[in-house]
Amino acid sequence: MKKNKKSPMIREGVLDVLRKYLGVEEIPLNIPPGKEMGDFSSAIALSLAKERRKPPMEIAKEIAGYLNENLPPFILKVTCTPPGYLNFKVDWLKVAQALIPEILKRGDSFGKPPSLRKEKVFVEHTSVNPNKAMHIGHLRNSVLGDTVARILRWLGYSVDVCNYIDDTGIQVVDVVSALLYLDPPVFEKDTLDLNLIWGKIPSDEPLDYYCWDLYARFQEEMEKDISLSQKRERVLHQIEKGVPPLSVFAKDLATKIVHSHLDTVAELSIYFDLLNWESDIIRQGFWNATFDLLKEKGVIRFEEKGPNQGCWVVPYGGHIETEEGVKSLDKVLVRSNGSITYTGKDIAYQLWKFGLLERDFLYKIWGTQANGEILWTTSPEGEPASKIGRSFGKADLVINVIDVRQSYPQEVVSECLGQMGFKKQAESSIHLAYEVVNLSAQAARLLGMVETEEKKTVAMSGRSGTGVKAKDFIQLVKRRIIEKSEQIIEEKVAQALAASAIRYYLLKYSLESQIIFDFDEALKTTGDTGVYLEYAYARASSILRKAEEKGIGFEWDDHCLPTHITETERELLDSLSQFSTIVEKVGKTLRVSQLAEYAFTLATSFTNFYEHPDPHLKNQTLFIHLQDPKLRTFRLSLVKAFKLVMGNTLSLLGMSRLQKI
């Protein structure tokens, strides 16, 4: 029998044998009601009973008979129970014998696929309008995108992470207009020194915070004073056409705010490869090329009459009658005034991501990030990709992390690609849609919002300035962590714990679950939280540190295997053995909450093992105090194995590996 070189995967081995024997692809596994029955089970015989026209028990016995003759790796025996379940008893000693040394040997790369993949993945996330501070809803996007990117990199894909900067949209125009026209000195002629305008910004308040209020205030002022929206219109045109000094001013403002956004997400260890500026999409002629292509392929048509008269549209669903009158389901790409809609630009941009446009951005270095990696940005003053020795786009798979409200336009983008003949790329356009973060009634009240009826939740809105700012939240969590700590902890540790707590909080919900942000819930430091994960890791580190201090060496060899594996040891081994399968699965489904869940399960199984290494004994003797050197070596090795796998899991979730808390 050839020794299994890959990391021990108990269930996979069984599935392999079963699949071959039965010729069935999908074989679900379950957990039997009692541990004495087996470690896991399958109801496959019950499912097969009908088509094979045999009683399930008979089939089960047959399968069990075969399996017991041809035992899959790590399986001790296979039994069946009525009405036809197959129960698998795992040989945990064998698992320990194979798994522990494997983990210890491979360390950081345990469970990682051995070879790189050819496919290139383009992940876009964050993409916050550069006109105000980020709020916690934006953070959900960043954390999801960052975690997906980490997982895909781990799995061997080449991943480019990009942050799209919408610098020409109305939102930036609003803030620019507010700065120009709200409080004196007011911008009148093109000759006005813009330094006077910059001078209005208080030095003691961060720019993104100042703009947060200013933006909201501008919305109010516009309602009162109609002339403001006319002024805004003029600003918009100047910026769109790239007329200085306003276009330069707007770009400066956006650039400064982008810096604060990047600082904000860096607090959660989120970094990018490229900043993509919308202004560059237009400037480099992406749209013109796309427009020609769309016309050539007959994907869009010019409307001579009807509600969309004078527009270029994607015929998508014809017209419908609603209570509000006749509506067109067609998507407008070019307005009757000749301007391009978001979706239009998105199509051009999506084509570029796949390398389907004959055009490219110009690039230059933005700076070096805290993780040591260079961040690139598109720029009119940049150089072509060939000159910088790095290429972007040309992806095989594109993942756009955008909240669920954008599902319809995202669908249009992918549909257009398909209709243009890019079927494969249309299928490889993934909209990673997640539900929004809303404020609980309690949170809204704490933020001083006037109670509008008895609403259960309140949506965050930049427009009205309601929301919890990301940086405030991070500070709040940090302070809470310091408060809750029994001993004095370092600033750095508190920061790392806060980041882990927040990432975990935003990650553990399934994508289609709205997060109802509640301060009590979000500031928890006990139970199912990021802090728990870090604590388990730090605890394992401490044990190993202590062992080293006391000069207790432990070198793994097969002789230190105990005669039997305790219940908590078994649970831990089981969790450890599932690591790579989980990561692989999440890489496919992109349901990152399942990795978060795994992290918690793994941490729990370790904590249980730590508290009761031998649950049947009345008094637990812990690790370094064990008299039996063999058992001591075995358990310390298990602690080390946990530390390594937990460390890998934390890294994938973008969390620090704290050696000490």
Partner RNA sequence: GCGCCUGUAGCUCAGCUGGAUAGAGCUACGGACUUCUAAUCCGUGGGUCGGGGGUUCGAAUCCCUCCAGGCGCGCCA
312-371: contacts with RNA (CB under 7 A) = 317, 320, 322-323, 327-332, 335-337, 339, 341-343
Does residue 47 touch RNA according to CB under 7 A? yes
Q: For RNA, which stretch binds (CB under 7 A), given 105-113, 155-163, 217-225, 594-602?
A: 594-602
Shorter beta-carbon distance to RNA: residue 153 or 463: 463
Residues 208, 132: contact at Cβ < 8 Å? yes
Minimum distance from residue 504 beta carbon to RNA (Å): 11
Q: Does 171 bind RNA (CB under 7 A)?
A: yes
Within residues 112-151, the interface with RNA by CB under 7 A covers: 129
- How many residues touch RNA (CB under 7 A)? 108
Q: Between 41 and 400, name the residue whose CB sits nearer to RNA.
A: 41
What is the full DSSP assignment across 337-397?
TSPBPHHHHHHHHHHHHTT-SS----EEEEEE-TTS-EEEEE-TT-B-HHHHT------SE
Residue (160 or 656) nearer to RNA, CB: 656
Choosing from 600, 641, 643, 644, the residue that interacts with RNA (CB under 7 A) is 600
CA dist., res. 343 & res. 340, Å (int): 8
Q: In this complex, which beta carbon is closest to RNA, that of residue 30 or of residue 288? A: 30
Nearer to RNA, 231 or 591 (CB): 591
Q: Which is nearer to RNA, 175 or 362 (CB)?
A: 175
Burial of 562 (0-12, 13-18, 19+ CB in 10 A): middle
Q: How far is the CB of 99 from RNA (least distance, A)?
A: 21
> Considering only CA atoms, which of 580, 489, 576 is closest in space to residue 535?
489
φ, ψ of residue 517 to 5 degrees: the values are -70, 120
- Judged by beta carbon, residue 330 or residue 574, the one nearer RNA is 330
In whole angstroms, how close is the CB of 631 to RNA at the nearest point?
A: 13
Among 433, 436, 437, 426, which Cα is nearest to 402's?
Answer: 433
Q: Does 218 bind RNA (CB under 7 A)?
A: no
Which residues in the 601-620 window bind RNA by CB under 7 A?
A: 604, 607-608, 610-612, 620
Q: Which range touches RNA (CB under 7 A), out of 26-34, 109-117, 140-148, 283-291?
A: 26-34
Stretch that binds RNA, among 29-37, 115-123, 272-280, 389-397 (CB under 7 A): 29-37
Residue 289 Cβ, how far from RNA at the closest point, in Å? 21
Least distance from RNA to the Cβ atom of residue 500, Å: 10
Closest CB to RNA among residues 68, 339: 339
Among 244, 451, 625, 628, binds RNA (CB under 7 A): 625
Vertex 654: Cα angle to 653 and 657 (nearest 5): 100
Q: Is residue 104 near RNA by the rule CB under 7 A?
A: no
Length of the chain: 661
Question: Are 498 and 478 a contacting pair, CB within 8 Å?
Answer: yes
Nearest partner of 91 among 28, 1, 8, 17, judged by Cα: 8
Q: How far is the CB of 37 from RNA (least distance, A)?
A: 6
* Cβ neighbours for 631, distance < 8 A, ≥ 6 positions apart: 560, 562
List 219, 255, 475, 485, residue binding RNA (CB under 7 A): 485
Distance CA(131)–CA(170), nearest Å, equals 10
Pairing of strands 429-434, 397-403: parallel
Check residue 475 for interaction with RNA (CB under 7 A): no
Q: Which of 17, 49, 216, 502 binds RNA (CB under 7 A)?
A: 49
Interaction between residue 229 and RNA (CB under 7 A)? no
Q: Name the E strands within 379-528.
A: 397-403, 429-434, 437-440, 457-459, 515-517
Of the candidates 272, 274, 425, the one whose C-alpha atom is nearest the C-alpha of residue 357 is 425
Dihedral sign, Cα of residue 299, residue 303, residue 309, residue 315: negative
| C-alpha–C-alpha distance, residues 360 and 346, integer Å | 15
Given the rule CB under 7 A, which of 36-44, 247-255, 273-281, 558-566 is the region that contacts RNA? 36-44
Judged by CB, which is closer to RNA: 363, or 606? 606
* Nearest to RNA of 454, 555 (CB atom): 454
Pick 128 or 351: Cβ nearer RNA: 128
As a 3-state breakdown, the chain gives helix, strand, coil percent values, each rounded to 5, of 50, 15, 35
Give 633's contacts (C-beta < 8 A, 6+ positions apart).
Answer: 554, 555, 556, 560
Phi, psi dihedrals of residue 454, rounded to the nearest 5°: -105, 60
**Pairing mode, if any, of strands 158-165 and 274-277?**
parallel
Q: Determine which residue in the list 89, 301, 364, 591 makes contact with RNA, applying CB under 7 A.
A: 591
CB of 264 to RNA, least distance (A): 20
- Pattern 411-450, RNA, x by CB under 7 A: ------------------------x---------------
For the segment 74-93, give every residue that binds RNA (CB under 7 A): 81, 83, 85, 87
Nearer to RNA, 405 or 492 (CB): 405
Residue 141, Cα to own-chain centre: how many angstroms?
Answer: 7
Between residue 236 and residue 275, which ones bind RNA under the rule CB under 7 A?
Answer: none
What amino acid is encoded at 320 in this protein? I
Inter-residue contact 509 to 558 (CB < 8 Å) = no
- If one counts every other C-beta atom within 10 angstroms of the C-beta of residue 248, the result is 13
CB–CB of 163/225 below 8 Å? no
Residues between 288 and 307 that touch RNA (CB under 7 A): 307
* Distance in angstroms (rounded) separating the CA atoms of residues 380 and 372: 25
The least distance separating RNA from the CB of residue 169, rounded to whole angstroms, comes to: 3
Q: Is 459 helix (H, G, I), strand (E, B) or coil?
A: strand
Q: Exposure of 435 by Cβ count < 10 A (0-12 exposed, 13-18 middle, 19+ buried)?
A: middle
Residue selected from 163, 578, 593, 648 as contacting RNA according to rule CB under 7 A: 593
Measure CA 51 to chain center.
Answer: 42
- Applying the rule CB under 7 A, the residues between 497 and 556 that interact with RNA are 497, 508-510, 512-516, 518, 521, 524-529, 531-532, 535, 538-539, 541-543, 545-546
Measuring CA to CA, which residue among 608, 528, 617, 521 is closest to residue 572? 608
Q: Is 390 in the site for RNA (CB under 7 A)?
A: no
Residues 639-658 that bind RNA (CB under 7 A): 658
Residue closer to RNA (CB basis): 497 or 652: 497
Q: State which residue, 396 or 411, has the beta carbon closest to RNA.
A: 411
Window contacting RNA (CB under 7 A); options: 108-116, 165-173, 259-267, 640-648 = 165-173
Which one of 624, 631, 652, 655 is in contact with RNA (CB under 7 A)?
A: 624
Decide: is 490 part of the binding site for RNA (CB under 7 A): no
